[in-house]
């Protein structure tokens, strides 16, 4: 089983021609609410897109905002361990989605900040603990250290980016970041590959948007180009990638195949509106991969060049 420990939010989403600049007012169009939060999104991706048994540990308020989130989790087959906060509201996120599918997000954490070290359940039967940084850093660190002591694989999606304590990094087996987060952690100097080399975890995955992703694991590099799509909304694309990747790895899938599954699930999520609502079913991911059976050599070469790896080689 995968234990996802993280945030649960209700997303308030407005579509507009473009994301407003500082001081600018933009006239929006459609407004909807969607279940979201990085922890809840990744749990849904593990269970729905990845088909893996999943438990979400999250904190929510006793307000009406919690109900649609919990319903979404149940519908996806996610088991829950909810810390109920009487004096804090359920977390919320305010999202503007532009016509070119980019987004700007502001999160009000609310009850998410009340998830504490003592709330970690027993890890019997848990193979992977997957976390993000929308809950307190000291909580993430405590969970990671406890999981490491019990021989559970620790996965951290270091988003939104914060400085990571040494004791947390030392407890992480798999680190997932986007390019901006990688730069913040390792500095801007050097190629993507060189920055991955400077990050002291056994396996690190960097997502590179429309280019795909690059992995450094035990001194070897793996590449997976992105799939070409017409994006509608990129909200939760990264969360879908994370959950799908870890779900595949729990099912003894090799890392290269798991990357293809995760990129396919993420691509499908970008073709739909919303966070959890956009996450595909496992059979949709498999069907999509059958329709896109292999990476185009040109796409691989572009990705290799961007990452600073030799052309024509995987590592």
The set of catalytic residues is 239
Longest dimension (CA), the chain: 58
- 268: Cβ–Cβ under 8 A, 6 or more apart, which residues? 229, 240, 278, 280, 284, 285, 288
Q: Position of tokens 């595909």?
A: 280
Q: Strands, DSSP E only, in the chain? A: 2-5, 9-16, 31-36, 54-61, 79-85, 91-98, 103-108, 128-131, 153-157, 174-178, 203-207, 212-217, 220-225
Quote the CA–CA distance of 285 and 38 in Å, as a whole number. 20
Quote the CA–CA distance of 68 and 50 in Å, as a whole number. 22
- Give yes or no for a contact between 93 and 37, defined as CB atoms under 8 angstroms apart: yes
Angle between helices 255-269 and 282-291 (to 10 degrees): 100
């Amino acid at each position: 089983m995968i234990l996802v420990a993280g945030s649960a939010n209700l997303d308030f989403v407005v579509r507009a021609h473009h994301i407003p600049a500082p001081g600018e007012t933009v006239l929006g169009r459609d407004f909807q609410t969607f279940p979201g939060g990085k922890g809840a999104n990744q749990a849904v991706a593990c269970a729905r897109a990845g088909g893996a048994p999943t438990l979400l540990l999250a904190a929510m308020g006793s307000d009406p905002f919690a109900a649609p989130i919990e319903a979404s989790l149940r519908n996806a087959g996610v088991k829950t361990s909810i810390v109920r906060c009487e004096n804090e509201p359920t977390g919320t996120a305010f999202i503007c989605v532009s016509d070119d599918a980019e987004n700007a997000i502001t999160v009000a954490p609310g009850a998410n900040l009340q998830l504490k070290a003592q709330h970690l359940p027993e890890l019997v039967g848990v193979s992977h603990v997957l976390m993000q940084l929308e809950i307190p850093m000291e909580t993430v660190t405590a969970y990671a250290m406890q999981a490491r002591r019990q021989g559970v694989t620790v996965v951290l999606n270091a988003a939104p980016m914060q400085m990571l304590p040494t004791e947390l990094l030392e407890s992480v087996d798999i680190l997932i970041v986007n390019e901006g987060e990688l730069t913040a952690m390792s500095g801007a100097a050097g190629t993507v590959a060189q920055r991955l080399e400077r990050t002291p975890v056994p396996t690190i995955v960097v997502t590179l948007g429309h280019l795909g992703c690059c992995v450094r694991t035990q001194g070897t590099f793996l590449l997976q180009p992105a799939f070409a799509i017409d994006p509608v909304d990129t909200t939760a694309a990264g969360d879908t990638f994370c959950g799908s990747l870890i779900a595949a790895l729990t099912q003894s899938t090799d890392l290269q195949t798991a990357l293809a599954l995760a990129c396919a699930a993420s691509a499908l999520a970008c073709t739909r509106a919303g966070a959890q609502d956009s996450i595909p079913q496992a059979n949709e991911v498999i069907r999509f991969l059958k329709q896109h059976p292999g990476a185009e050599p040109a796409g691989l070469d572009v990705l290799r060049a961007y990452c600073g790896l030799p052309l024509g080689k995987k590592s």
